[in-house]
Amino acid sequence: MGRHRHQRRASRPHRPREHDPGEQRGPRTAARVVRGRRGRGRRRRRQRPGCRFGGDDVSGIFRDPSAGYAAIVIVLLPVVIIGIGELEERLRQRDSPLRGPVGLVRTWVLPLFAIWALLIVLLPSGDGDVVVAVIATALVGATGAAALAALSIVVERIRTRPSEGRRSVPRLLLAFPRIVLILTILWVIIAGVWSVDLSAALTALGVTSLVVSFALQDTLGGIASGFTLLADQPFHPGDWIEADGVEGQVIDTNWRSTRIQTRNGDLVVVPNGKLAGATITNYDEPSRLHRIVVPVQVAYMNAPSDAKAMLIAAAKSTPGVLAEPAPNAVVVQIDDPLMGYEVHLWIDDYSIRPRVFSDFGSLVWYHSHRRGVPLPSPAQDLYLWDGERSAAAGRRDHASILEGLRSSVLFDQLDDDELDILSAGVETGRFASGEVILGPDDDGLVVVEHGSARLELRLDPQRREPVLDVTDGDLVTPIARSETRGHDLVVIASTDCDVLLVPASSAGGVISRSPALNGALDQLTTSRRRRVQRVLRRLDQQRAADHVDALGLGTAPEPAVGPATDVAPDEPGAPDPGATSA
| φ and ψ of 94, to 5 deg | -85, 0
Domain count, the chain: 4
Cβ atoms 258, 228 nearer than 8 A? no
Q: How far apart are CA 132 and CA 75, in angstroms?
A: 21
| φ and ψ of 219, to 5 deg | -65, -45
CATH code of the domain containing 481: 2.60.120.10
Per-residue pLDDT, 273: 78
Per-residue pLDDT, 86: 87
Shared-domain flag, residues 256 and 324 = no
Shared-domain flag, residues 462 and 551 = yes
Shared-domain flag, residues 492 and 518 = yes
Shared-domain flag, residues 344 and 470 = no
On whether residue 8 sits in a domain, the answer given is no
Say which amino acid occupies 266.
D
Q: How far apart are CA 363 and CA 313, in angstroms?
A: 9
Q: How far, CA to CA in Å, does 249 sit from each of 128, 272, 286, 331, 472?
A: 64, 16, 16, 33, 46
Residue count of the chain, please give it.
582
On whether residue 95 sits in a domain, the answer given is yes
Cβ atoms 538, 570 nearer than 8 A? no
Shared-domain flag, residues 453 and 531 = yes
Q: How far, CA to CA in Å, does 514 sit from each of 104, 111, 558, 581?
A: 98, 108, 44, 16
DSSP 327-381: PEEEEEEEETTEEEEEEEEEES-GGGHHHHHHHHHHHHHHHHHHHT-PPPPSS--
Q: How far apart are CA 6 and CA 548, in angstroms?
A: 101
State which residues form the domain around 237: 207-282
Per-residue pLDDT, 515: 83
Query: Structure pTM?
Result: 0.55
On whether residue 202 sits in a domain, the answer given is no
Per-residue pLDDT, 46: 45
Q: How far apart are CA 67 and CA 120, in angstroms?
A: 11
Q: Is 94 helix (H, G, I), strand (E, B) or coil?
A: coil
| pLDDT tens for the 582 residues of the chain, in order | 444 444 444 444 445 454 444 444 444 444 454 445 454 444 444 444 444 434 444 445 445 566 666 677 777 878 888 888 888 888 888 888 888 899 899 889 988 888 888 888 777 666 568 888 899 999 999 999 999 999 999 888 887 776 554 556 666 677 888 888 998 999 899 888 888 887 777 787 777 877 776 766 666 666 777 777 777 788 888 999 999 889 999 998 877 788 999 999 999 999 887 887 888 999 998 899 999 999 999 988 888 989 999 999 999 999 999 999 999 999 999 876 789 999 999 999 999 999 999 999 999 999 999 888 988 876 555 656 666 665 555 567 778 888 888 888 888 777 878 888 888 878 888 888 888 888 888 888 889 988 999 999 888 777 888 988 999 888 888 887 778 888 888 899 998 888 988 888 877 778 888 888 888 888 888 888 889 889 888 988 888 888 888 776 655 455 444 333 333 444 444 444 444 332
DSSP one-letter code for 106:
I
Question: Across 226-337, where does the E strand assignment appear?
Answer: 240-243, 246-253, 257-261, 267-271, 281-282, 290-299, 328-335
Shared-domain flag, residues 446 and 422 = yes
Per-residue pLDDT, 61: 44
Shared-domain flag, residues 344 and 401 = no
DSSP 289-305: -EEEEEEEEEETTS-HH
